[in-house]
């Protein structure tokens, strides 16, 4: 009963490095989302996907890229890490849009130094 | 654009006290409304939801009613426990065709319950 699994849980990067945050879900959900959570700011949507091969920008997409080659996986790529990207990142999925709740992973805490 | 505003925290209560966390929203159309809870070190979990005006969502003793006339979705619990200590997020779901139910979150309200 895994749900949404994110790896790694913690990571420290140097400015300018790149990395990929992994997200996989085993619930056969069509919709997947990436959020970032900054202290006292709630969650902001970075990118989302409504199905394999389809992605779109959210509220704060700059500095990130995504791909969705399978229903299960939705990795988030940081190409040139910047201190402003220090945050906690959450992946979520839902079966359909709107009325259905989203299921969240436990998050990846990322620090850029 | 759509937005959600929650009362600021932290909120500190004694065990068995009554809890209210205020949430108001701005939205076009008829969004679904949600309360999520985040325990320390974990992701968000759905606490309750309401999909249309006057609906009442409830779970684990928590309740919230979708009030379209006041654009509010306040969270209440009659008697809180220490185990309810967490951060609570109010959210609305934008529904635009088939573009996915994007969630708009409030800033979160931290609740601390003392024995």
pLDDT tens track for B20-52: 999 999 988 788 999 999 998 888 999 999 988
User: Nearest by CB to B101, which of A43, A94, A104?
Assistant: A94
Distance of alpha carbon B101 from alpha carbon B26, whole angstroms: 16
In contact, A23 and A71? CB cutoff 8 Å: no
pLDDT-above-90 percentage for chain B: 75
Two tokens at B52?
Answer: 């249309």
Q: For residue A28, which of A47, A52, A9, A45 has the smallest C-alpha distance?
A: A52
User: Nearest by CB to B95, which of A50, A92, A97?
Assistant: A97
Mean pLDDT, range A90-98, rounded to an integer: 84
A4, A43, A59, A87: best mutation site toward chain B, by most B Cβ within 10 Å?
Answer: A43
In contact, A105 and A21? CB cutoff 8 Å: no
Is B108's CB within 8 Å of A42's CB? yes
The pLDDT tens digits of the residues spanning B42-87 come to 889 999 999 889 999 999 999 999 999 999 999 999 999 999 999 9
Distance of alpha carbon A88 from alpha carbon A50, whole angstroms: 23
Distance of alpha carbon B26 from alpha carbon B13, whole angstroms: 29
Give yes or no for B98 touching A (CB within 8 A): yes
Q: Cα B75 from chain centroid?
A: 6
Instruction: Please give the backbone phi and psi of residue A83, each rounded to the nearest 5 degrees, phi first.
Output: -55, -30
State yes or no: pLDDT of A71 exceeds 70. yes
Nearest residue of B to residue A107, measured between CA atoms: B43
Is B43's CB within 8 Å of A4's CB? yes
């Amino acid at each position: 009963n895994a749900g949404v699994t994110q790896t790694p849980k913690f990571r420290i990067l140097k400015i300018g490095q790149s990395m990929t945050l992994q997200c996989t879900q085993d619930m056969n959900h069509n919709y997947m989302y990436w959020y970032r959570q900054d202290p006292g700011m709630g969650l902001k949507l970075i990118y989302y996907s409504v199905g394999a091969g389809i992605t779109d920008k959210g509220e704060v997409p700059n500095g990130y890229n995504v791909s969705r080659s399978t229903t299960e996986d939705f990795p988030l790529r940081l190409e040139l890490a910047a201190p402003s990207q220090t945050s906690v990142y959450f992946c979520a999925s839902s079966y359909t849009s709107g009325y259905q709740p989203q299921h969240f992973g436990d998050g990846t805490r990322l620090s850029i130094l | 654009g759509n937005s959600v505003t929650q009362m600021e925290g932290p909120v500190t209560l004694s065990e068995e006290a009554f809890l209210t966390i205020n949430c108001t929203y701005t939205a076009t159309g008829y969004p679904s409304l949600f309360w999520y809870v985040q325990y320390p070190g974990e992701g968000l979990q759905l606490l309750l939801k309401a999909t249309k005006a006057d609906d009442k969502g409830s779970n684990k003793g928590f309740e919230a009613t979708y009030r379209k006339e006041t654009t509010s979705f306040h969270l209440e619990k009659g008697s809180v426990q220490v185990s309810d200590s967490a951060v609570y997020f109010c959210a609305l779901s934008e529904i635009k065709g088939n573009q996915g139910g994007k969630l708009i979150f409030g800033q979160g309200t931290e609740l601390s319950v003392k024995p």
